[in-house]
């Protein structure tokens, strides 16, 4: 690991473009959130934040790349809930989740939606459950690899209906969505930041939102509870990280910039269009992200151990 930059270098930061690693493919939900926030933060910081998509292994390849990067503020990571679940799901993670990063802040909590190809036979969630049980060897479920939000959501769905479907992994749900729209796979569970526009355009079918309340951008879509599957709830929180050892003054600058970006009217509007809300100032802090990651690792570890799902 390189030595952290101190003093004057941190005061002048940033002097060149910053790379923000997104651990999934371009065009997917994590990518969408990252590009919106990066553009606004870049304007505020006076340097462009360039997105680098490093997809694969449920987000762990991208996280690993940032864990090993120089802690100089020029390489950041925007990742979601998968950061916490991978800590238990992966037997051999190439980084120590709680000790390999500094924390910038929470970004947003995005609802998920259970969706399918537009011509999928089941008409509603109850019909989908019956169909999946009766056709479990035939139904294909797309996800972005073990530990991805789409994987977790699918895992919860399958355990709730006590039926294992065939999963088809991608490097991100951007390409998975292309295949769902093209009717190459049957179903998926993904963030509203990727599904809202496709649902509204009628390119895919939606069965339920995984939230307590209906999603504001999709008011006609029932919650899972309303549609007959209570307890099927999952929200996908996102955070920005830097490699461990990044100078505290730089982290502070980044947190302040993140807080501004989350109040930028363009970001607020686009988030609202996609059914999500920006984190508050208190949430967009290193302390809040660290606390969230720690508590989420604790929350998910027993669930994953009980389910007995692991990856190498
Ligand atoms: N968010 C998606 C997932 O975790 C992946 C992506 O952003 O492409 O399933």
Average pLDDT along the chain, 312 residues, taken 10 residues at a time? 56 95 96 98 98 95 97 98 94 94 97 97 97 96 93 92 94 96 98 96 97 94 96 94 98 98 98 95 98 95 80 74
Q: How far is the CA of 147 from the centre of ligand 1 (A)?
A: 9
* Residue 113 CB-half CA count within 13 A: 31
As a whole number of angstroms, the distance between CA 264 and CA 285 comes to 17
Report how far ligand 1's centroid is from the alpha carbon of 172 (Å): 5
User: Is 243 strand, coil or helix?
Assistant: strand
pTM (predicted TM-score)? 0.93
The total of other beta-carbon atoms located within 10 Å of residue 208's CB is 25
Give the 3-state secondary structure of residue 236.
strand
E runs forming strands in the chain: 18-22, 49-53, 75-80, 101-117, 140-143, 166-169, 187-191, 204-209, 235-243, 277-278
Exposed / middle / buried, residue 151 (Cβ in 10 Å: 0-12, 13-18, 19+): buried
Does the C-beta of 25 come closer than 6 Å to ligand 1? yes
Q: Separation of 146 CA from ligand 1 center, angstroms?
A: 11
Residue range 152-190, pLDDT digits in tens: 999 889 989 999 999 999 999 999 999 999 999 999 999
CA of 12 to the centre of ligand 1 (A): 34
User: Using a 6 Å cutoff on CB, does residue 53 contact ligand 1?
Assistant: no
- Atom number, ligand 1, closest to the C-alpha of residue 148: 4
Distance between CA atoms of residues 57 and 311, nearest Å: 9
pLDDT of residue 309: 72
Domains observed in the chain: 8-110+236-307 (3.40.190.150), 111-227 (3.40.190.10)
pLDDT value, residue 1: 47
Return the residue whose CA atom lies nearest to atom 6 of ligand 1.
172
C-alpha 110 to ligand 1 mean position (Å): 11
Whether ligand 1 lies within 6 angstroms of the CB of 144 is answered as yes
Q: Is the CB of 173 under 6 A from ligand 1?
A: yes
User: What local confidence, expressed as pLDDT, does residue 119 receive?
Assistant: 98
- The reply to whether omega before 276 is within 30° of 0 (cis) is no
- Check residue 273 and give its pLDDT: 94
């Amino acid at each position: 690991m390189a030595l952290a930059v101190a003093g004057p270098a941190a005061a002048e930061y940033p002097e060149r473009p910053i790379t923000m690693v997104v651990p999934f493919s371009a065009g997917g939900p994590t990518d969408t959130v990252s590009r919106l926030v990066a553009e606004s933060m870049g304007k505020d910081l006076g340097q462009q934040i360039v997105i680098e998509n490093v997809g694969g292994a449920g987000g762990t390849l991208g996280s690993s790349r940032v864990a090993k990067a120089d802690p100089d503020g020029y390489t950041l990571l925007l990742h979601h809930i998968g950061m916490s679940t991978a800590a238990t799901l992966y037997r051999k993670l190439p980084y120590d989740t709680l000790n390999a990063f500094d924390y910038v802040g929470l970004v947003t909590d995005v609802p998920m939606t259970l969706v399918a190809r537009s011509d999928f036979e089941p008409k509603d969630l109850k019909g989908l459950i019956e169909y999946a049980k009766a056709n479990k060897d035939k139904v294909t479920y797309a996800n972005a690899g073990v530990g991805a939000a789409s994987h977790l959501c699918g895992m919860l769905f399958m355990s709730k209906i006590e039926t294992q479907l065939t999963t088809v992994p991608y490097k991100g749900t951007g390409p998975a969505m292309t295949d769902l729209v093209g009717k190459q796979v049957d179903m998926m569970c993904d963030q509203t930041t990727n599904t809202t526009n496709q649902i509204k355009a009628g390119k895919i079918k939606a069965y339920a939102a995984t939230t307590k309340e209906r999603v504001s951008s999709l008011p006609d879509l029932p919650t899972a509870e309303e549609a007959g599957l209570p307890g099927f709830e999952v929200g996908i929180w996102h955070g920005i990280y830097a490699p461990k050892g990044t100078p505290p003054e730089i982290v502070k600058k980044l947190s302040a910039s993140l807080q501004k970006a989350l109040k930028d009217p363009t970001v607020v509007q686009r988030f609202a269009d996609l059914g999500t809300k920006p984190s508050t100032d208190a949430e967009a802090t290193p302390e809040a992200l660290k606390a969230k990651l720690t508590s989420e690792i604790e929350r998910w570890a027993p669930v994953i151990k009980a389910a007995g799902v692991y990856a190498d």
